[in-house]
Amino acid sequence: MLFNSLIFVIFFSLIVLLYYTVKDWKKQKSILLIGSYLFYAAWNPPFVLLLWFSTVVDWIAAKKIEQSAEKSQKKFWLCVSLVVNLGFLAFFKYGNFALESFTGLLNLAGMSVQWAPLDIILPVGISFYTFQTLSYTIDVYRGDLKPSKSFLDFALYVTFFPQLVAGPIVRAVDFIPQCESPKKANTNQFGWGLYFMTLGLFQKVVLADVFLAPAADAVFGWSKGPLAPLDTWIGTLAFTGQIFFDFAGYSTCAIGAALCLGFVIPDNFRFPYAAMGFSNFWQRWHISLSSWLRDYLYISLGGNRVGAARTAINLMFTMLLGGLWHGASWTFVAWGALHGVYLIIEHSLKSIFPNINMTETRPKRIFVRLITFFFVVISWVFFRSNTFEKVMLSFLAMFGIIKDGAMILPTIEIYKVVIVIFALVMSHWFMRENKIEYFVEKLPKPLVVAFWSFMVFALIITQGGNNAFIYFQF
């Protein structure tokens, strides 16, 4: 069930109606839980059992961890949670990838082997809810969180439909306490919730799908040789904006839907294309994942407390797994590795020049932002390309080594991409230190109403094709 579909509008309206009609808090939570299972079942009903099984396992594991007196027993139950959740993730998401990689290694060794791909259907959102529920058992094991006293609260935490299939990845400490007392959005919260849902859909349907996707799809879908440098750059910039508007659009919708129900879930993006440095970029891009990798992987490996060499290894390992989390393909691993290289170089430069301040003057800030944006754009080539051959051809064209490639983009598409990307970067630079609410509240109300009406009108006239959000595949 897609946010950008009529069936979701009907579904959400019914959920809100039932939720606010019923007065008993336990019944309200039950409505949300049942609605969340129905929301997930709209893709593939049998996978609800997988979601439910993970919920039960982690509920029991956390209870056993809390009750166990011996550390070995606590570790055992933590391992049960890790094996079950990561086992499901490994099988469903990486089964075919592992088989293909193993087959490739055998062929490189001189053995002619060809196995048929496994008939595996990827459960939508499995990467998101797996990391979410794992954070619960890990926090209980570390002593940072007490197990929830209510299975209903925990199950709702795992399956809460606004952010179930594409995040943000919510921590139990941020969500479960909200389940302990009745939640009801006031008029202001409900209004903001509807505004965020409209803004998120506008980002996805109008900006990502209508303005940017055609150029990105044309360039990265081209398979008849190299493209002209201009077309390749425009296609890469188009995807740079598309991936942001698509994913940030989903997160904004999720935050808005939750707010309409009286729940608060954390921001997932903070104007990332205004980042000053790559550490800062990951503090602003997909915040719930980057903070998860930092807290449960990077710091657990020793973080930056174990010397320069080990810090570099920890950074690279974390980013490699971050890349693999995004998709079962070596191009995603390469994307993660490239960001690992960025972070290692940045940390090294800070160690070599500890007193340099690249943000002390406006020209320096502009320079750092431009450099960061440039290298982030470069990295998206790996993320969007299906093969390394496509990556190579793209880079050869982008850096002028191939100059006589095909020109496939109409002039109107080039103008659309340039205008939207320029507006995107400028808006991020202008708003990087504040939240959207801060700027909206400063505007005259008639202007806010006019812009809101424009977004609704644009959504109606574009009549999008109900395209799935990009991060559903992860």
Which residues carry out catalysis?
A: 326
Q: Distance (Å, rounded) from C-alpha 255 to C-alpha 292?
A: 19
DSSP letters along 346-398, please? HHHHHHHSTT--TTSSHHHHHHHHHHHHHHHHHHHHHHH-SSHHHHHHHHHHH
The C-alpha atoms of residue 232 and residue 33 are separated, in whole angstroms, by 46
In this structure, the number of other CB atoms found within 10 A of the CB of residue 29 comes to 20
Specify whether the CB–CB gap between 431 and 250 falls below 8 A: no
Which string of DSSP letters, residue by residue, matches 268-320?
A: S-S-GGG-SSHHHHHTTSSHHHHHHHIIIIITTTTTTSS-HHHHHHHHHHHHH
In order of 56, 113, 141, 145, the CA distances from 69 in angstroms are 22, 51, 12, 17
Q: List the Cα angle 192/193/197 in 5-degree steps.
A: 115
The phi, psi pair for 360, rounded to 5°, reads -75, -25
Interatomic CA distance for residues 165 and 170, integer angstroms: 12
